[in-house]
């Protein structure tokens, strides 16, 4: 009797990051100051881009720990953009001015978010 298991890509599968990803887009307008939005992706990302179209914001990968005090974020003002080839299941966007608007575009892999480890440590939360 054969013991067949269906192949699926995982976090360490380079092929999942070499092919073009599935598109994902979202955004928000008129966000109040000091508001944090969680952008939770349906699968693990291959690439993420955040555009600030009005106001100012901070992009970070952890919403606990000393991410703010340790400056573990990238600040964007209007017309600012951040593009990263990174695997993650979520990003956090915290506004630093009233009326902020942003757009998020991502390339998604077929890897389930449950396989992703918690992003923590030096440069993220410490």
Q: Does residue 52 have a pLDDT over 70? A: yes
Measured CA to CA, the distance from residue 14 to residue 122 in angstroms comes to 25
In sequence order, what are the beta bridge partners of 116? none
Higher-confidence residue of 28 and 118: namely: 28
Q: Which of 13-22, 37-46, 73-82, 93-102 has the lowest mean pLDDT?
A: 13-22
Return the closest-CA partner of residue 103 out of 64, 76, 63: 76
Paired strand residues for 104 = 26, 50
The CATH-assigned architecture of domain 19-115 is: Sandwich (2.60)
Per-residue pLDDT, 15: 81
Q: pLDDT value at position 7?
A: 67
Write the DSSP string, 70-121: TT-SEEEETTEEEEE----SEEEEEESSTTEEEEEEEEEEEEEGGGPPP--S
Q: Say what the pLDDT of residue 36 is.
A: 97
Please give the pLDDT value at position 2.
63
User: Taking Cα atoms as reference points, which of 11, 22, 16 lies closest to residue 108?
Assistant: 22
State yes or no: pLDDT of 89 exceeds 60.
yes
Q: What is the full DSSP assignment across 13-68? A: -THHHHSPPEEEEEEEEEEPTT-EEEEE-SEEEEEEEEEEEESEEEEES-SSSSTT
In this prediction, residue 113 carries a pLDDT of 95
């Amino acid at each position: 009797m054969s013991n067949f298991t269906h192949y699926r890509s995982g976090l360490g599968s380079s092929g999942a990051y070499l092919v073009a990803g599935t598109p994902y887009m979202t955004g928000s307008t008129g966000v109040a100051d000091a508001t944090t939005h969680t952008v939770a992706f349906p699968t693990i990302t291959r690439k993420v881009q955040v555009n600030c179209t009005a106001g100012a914001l901070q992009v970070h990968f952890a919403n606990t720990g000393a991410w703010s005090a340790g400056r573990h974020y990238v600040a964007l003002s209007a017309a600012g953009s951040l593009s990263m080839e990174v695997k993650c299941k979520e990003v956090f966007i915290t506004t630093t001015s009233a009326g902020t608007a942003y757009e998020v575009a991502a390339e998604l892999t077929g890897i389930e978010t449950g396989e992703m480890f918690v992003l923590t440590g030096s440069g993220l939360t410490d």
